[in-house]
Amino acid sequence: MRRNRKVKILATLGPASSEEAMIRKLFEAGADVFRINMSHTDHALLKALVGRIRAVEAAVGRPIGILADLQGPKLRVGKFKNTKEELQLGQLFTLDDNTEPGDNTRVHLPHPEILESVEPGHRLLIDDGKLELRAVETNGRQIICEVVAGRTISDRKGVSLPDTDLPVGALTEKDRKDLDAALENDVDWIALSFVQRPEDLAEARKIARGRALIMSKIEKPQAVQRLPEIMDLSDAIMVARGDLGVEMPLESVPGVQKQITRAARRAGKPVVVATQMLESMITAPVPTRAEVSDVATAVFEGADAIMLSAESAAGQYPTEAVATMDRIARKVEADPTYDGIIHAQRTDPQATSADAVSAAARQMADTLKLAAIVTYTASGNTGLRAARERPRVPIIALSPVLGTARRLSLLWGTHCVVTEDAADLDDMVNRACRITQEEKFGNAGERVIIMAGVPLRTPGTTNMLRIAYLGSANGVGPR
């Protein structure tokens, strides 16, 4: 089964989509990678979901990627005597270390790191920004705030700190246990929540030890400010617009989305655009026109993947949401302006042989109107370099490593096939041509360009291009 689009679709599993039959329907509707949200998933369910996805993978004969999304630190206020309180604009309200239930003048904040880090002038956003407080006075045990916007505060509402750099890592104790469980179940990607600084990735990378790739979720202004450093240490990036839209002005989010997407493309790192893409389809069978435009914008930007959250996890129309996203993506990629926009965003290759070879392969494939670019890749790096170029033709990534093929299923324009490693150069060409025809990417007489490293089976040596004709009976012709 091949997709007739280059952007990938990442679908979140949940109560509406946790059974194997529904997971298969979502795959057939267009989902390429499945997300498991560890905020709502225990380890038994995680194991069950991974097993069901792998059963679907075996049934359809296509590698399917799995992303485990860690919850990250959840900062919340304590409880109130009356469950909730109404505040007045301009009044003072205190967050402190007193464990007594709160009232309309104060509430417990069970996070000493916040009490010690917030400084006068810093904003504290409660309940996704519905209530805005501004710190007036702090002493390490309490934060005296002025109510700037909103009025209602209630039990256990979340706290966002757009101006404060907290001295805590991105991994909580729950996250460490969830990460271990995800690795035990051979997930392909780990999404790290609330990254603030490059150091936040160190512990996750140390625990993972290459068994899964790390995706940094950019959802805090502090992460945007240090994006290049975070990008360097990440295997992929997610533009997590939900919390990003809480912690910075809403009108800033579209521009930041474009900046992150383009920076990831320049770095050759996969980038996912997420949150509220087809939000209305949680309860409606069709999206709004604005949502369609939002999805289209991410596709025009050349994002590697676009993500569904509650739409596929808990909505009433999970299959329809995936199918709708698939239709939007295919229509955008067929638009006459699409190639020009993608081409205009292309950057010069990096000064490595792999990047130079990838750029040459893209130019030759586009100029000669070849059927496909075929890459041999054990580690996945050759596939990443080829996708960075955003060629007009499909990329067929051949790998002897199933885990690599699963990871690359997130990658723009890449069709992954698990195959035995080539015995020699002739076998490599024959295998590439045969698989191109078997996967219905080309017909006899058409040509493909093959990227590989010589000597074979030597990681990091992408240094060869070869054009081959697709033959008839055995898939091989003159070359």
Q: Is 463 helix (H, G, I), strand (E, B) or coil?
A: strand
φ and ψ at 283, to 5 degrees? -125, -5
Q: Which is the catalytic residue, given 138, 261, 275, 414? A: 275
Query: Is 52 considered catalytic here?
Result: no
Those residues whose C-beta lies under 8 Å from the C-beta of residue 417, and which sit 6 or more positions away, are 396, 397, 398, 399, 405, 435, 439
Catalytic residue among 217, 241, 385, 406: 217
DSSP secondary structure string for all residues of 82-137? TSEEE--TT-EEEEES--SPB-SSEEE---HHHHHH--TT-EEEETTTTEEEEEEE
What is the spatial distance between Cα 252 and Cα 271, in angstroms, rounded to a whole number?
19
What letter represents residue 373's amino acid?
I
Task: Give the single-character DSSP code of 297.
Answer: H
DSSP string for residues in 232-247: HH-SEEEEEHHHHHHH
Quote the CA–CA distance of 369 and 413 in Å, as a whole number.
16
Please report, as a single letter, which amino acid is at residue 121.
G
Active-site residue flag, 76 = yes
The one catalytic residue among 5, 24, 35, 52? 35
Contacts of 357 (CB under 8 A, 6+ apart): 385, 451, 462, 463, 464, 465
CA–CA gap between residue 287 and residue 171 (Å, rounded) = 35
Joined together, the tokens standing for residue 247 give 């912690």
Tokens matching residue 15: 């109560």
In what helix (H) or strand (E) does residue 13 lie, and over which residues does it extend?
A: strand 8-13
Sign of the Cα pseudo-torsion (190, 193, 196, 200, in order): negative
Closest by alpha carbon to 408, among 216, 205, 188, 204? 188
CA distance 172 to 74: 9
Choosing from 76, 266, 327, 392, which is the catalytic residue?
Answer: 76
CA proximity to 114, closest of 76, 149, 81, 148 = 76
Nearest-CA neighbor of 140 among 166, 163, 160, 113?
113
Residue 147 identity: V
Up-side HSE of residue 327: CA atoms within 13 Å toward CB? 10
Cα–Cα distance for residue pair 37/13, rounded to 1 Å = 8
Distances in whole angstroms, Cα of residue 273 to Cα of each of 10, 236, 339: 10, 11, 20
Active site residue ranges: 35, 76, 217, 275
